[in-house]
Amino acid sequence: MTSITSALQVWHPEFSAEKIQDILNISPQISYSVGDEIVRPNGEKLEKKHRTSYLCYDILPLQSELDLEGTIEKCNDFISCNIKNKDLFKIINETGGSISYYVAIYSQEHLAFNLDPKTIQCAGNLGIGIGVEIFTDWLENNTSSVSSTQE
């Protein structure tokens, strides 16, 4: 069984999560701002602060299929439909931030991929990178979150 899910991730070393959310005009599922105290999922507060702001927007829920090309195309469509002013991505990228699709693939099978240059170019033209993480020891009843917690 193979499954796939995707999210849009945004990092910025200076802009607050609120400012980025205002720029993109969509609500993230996860966010924190540069300088916020790091809090573990169990509620434990660490004596460290986040070095970047981070926002994660779930795009596609976990699906029992594997179509990397189609997933990236759906991500591009999500951006086209939900972000009216794509130049705002340029602002984030030019001021030290980064934007990336995060694609998580869960499989116990051997996998190989080939992406059409047009699909990659479309994401690149939007200023969006593509990251893929493959979990090869995934079991069907193990559905962990795709969202990163970069400090």
Residue 79: C-alpha distances to residues 36, 47, 117 (Å): 28, 36, 18
For the chain, give the mean pLDDT. 87
CA distance 15 to 34: 7
- Is 150's pLDDT higher than 50? no
pTM: 0.84
Percentage of the chain beyond pLDDT 90 is 61
- Is 147's pLDDT higher than 80? no
- Is 17's pLDDT higher than 50? yes
The pLDDT value given to residue 48: 95
| Residue from 147, 116, 135 nearest 2 by CA | 135
pLDDT in tens, 51-106: 999 999 999 988 887 788 999 999 999 998 888 877 888 899 999 999 999 999 99
CA distance 6 to 15: 24
The pLDDT value given to residue 149: 43
The pLDDT value given to residue 138: 57
Residue of higher predicted confidence among 146 and 57: 57
